[in-house]
Amino acid sequence: MEDGLNAYVGTIFDLHNRTAIVSGGAGLLGREFCKALASAGANIVLADNDEISMDSAEKEIRGMYKNSPITKHIIDVTNEKSISECVMFTEREFGNIDILVNSAAIDPKFDEDSDTSSYSSFAEFPIDLWNKSTEVNLTGTFLLTQAVCRNMERRGKGSVINLGSNYGLVGPDQGIYKRKDEKPQSYKPVVYSVCKAGIIGFTKYLAAYYAGTEIRVNVLTPSGVYNKQDDFFVKNYASRTILRRMSNKNEFWGGVIFLASDASSYMTGGNLIIDGGWTAW
């Protein structure tokens, strides 16, 4: 089995001859989505606005799947011209676009080296961060999906996967984000919850809009991924989950392959929640 790329051949999870654009494909989860789709044989366009991270992501994925038909293209999801160039590039390289993973986001992280200084209290929350986040997380998702759907409409078929969060479903427990002796305190930003809740509305709208076609639109909802956060944070976060731990970054592979492939052929307008049970109690 060359590179393990044939593992799903002959199954409903097989993605050979299917093409995926993964926006934010250089991110922490974005590159895992690329690896997962590559493992099922998909053609992949890794699209991101961070060229350096994109290079390292491509290298990482090629290290695992030497013969994967993966390529990369710079994109700014807030810019229609840039989106159009990326979509045209994908069409030139591979023809049809079968899968879109909308993973590009401003995702306020609390990792060891994150700068949390702009994650202020609700009363002080900066309008700049509100605007920047809604522009990428909501407008960017809308613009890229619109451009890709023009391609999917030609065949009346495709799978759009939008990224949610447990915080699109329930409010953050700010106690988790309180760091010892930190002044002023950092908070998980209000705009993140607003965007992730908006993603669910966008998904349901679009799924319903494409009624009677095979264009399916779903949300994949992760919760916090372990990425070298400090012990205090990890312990607090883990205690809020039923599984009593944060997720590992590779624990969404099955979810993305499922939503991208024929395995989820009867699922649209849905939300695949992979959150260790966070929202179940």
Could you tell me where the beta strands, DSSP code E, fall in 24-126?
Answer: 43-48, 70-74, 99-102
Give Cβ neighbours of residue 237 (< 8 Å, ≥ 6 apart). 176, 224, 229, 246
Residue (8 or 188) nearer to ligand NAD, CB: 188
Binding mask 134-173 for ligand NAD (x = CB under 6 A): --x---x----------------------x-x--------
CA pseudo-torsion sign 69, 97, 27, 243: negative
Residue (8 or 233) nearer to ligand NAD, CB: 233
Choosing from 15, 20, 21, 29, the residue that interacts with ligand NAD (CB under 6 A) is 29
Choosing from 26, 34, 169, 207, the residue that interacts with ligand NAD (CB under 6 A) is 26
Instruction: Identify the three-state secondary structure at position 130.
Output: helix
Rounded Cα distance, 105 and 135, in Å: 9
Q: Does position 222 bind ligand NAD by CB under 6 A?
A: yes
Q: Does position 78 bind ligand NAD by CB under 6 A?
A: yes
Longest dimension (CA), the chain: 57
Rounded Cα distance, 37 and 124, in Å: 41
Window of 3-11, 88-96, 145-153, 217-225 that interacts with ligand NAD by CB under 6 A? 217-225
Binding site for ligand NAD (CB under 6 A): 23-24, 26-30, 48-50, 53, 75-78, 103-105, 107, 136, 140, 163, 165, 222-225
